[in-house]
Amino acid sequence: MRMAVATLPPPPKIEGRGPTLATLHEIERILRDADGPVSLNEVKRRMAARAVRHAMVRQAVDEFKRLGFVIEGSKGVLWVLNLSPKVWAGKWREL
């Protein structure tokens, strides 16, 4: 019996420099701490570095979307990754 395994799409090629690990971590923290969807401009406003380009924030969000950590809609970006052990053990109905 063969089981199908869902795989992630490969990361896209990035021209030039992409976001640093520190930038990814800062954006992750901003999105996790938010009470709801956050626009990309609001993410930039909340970042400590004032010279962050919009393209860097976009690349970071796109990477989080590719990994399934966030969803993006008309109101902004929302962190959806659930780290509860029950979810990862397949017991999400008990939550």
Give the whole-angstrom CA distance, residue 22 versus residue 18: 12
Residue-wise pLDDT for 7-52, tens only, equals 667 777 877 888 899 999 999 999 999 999 999 999 999 998 877 7
Q: How far apart (Å, rounded) are the C-alpha atoms in residues 4 and 19? A: 33
pLDDT per position as a tens digit, 69-83: 999 999 999 999 767
CB 65 within 8 A of CB 71: yes
Full set of structural domains in the chain with CATH? 21-85 (1.10.10.10)
* Averaged pLDDT for residues 2-9: 60
Give the pTM: 0.76
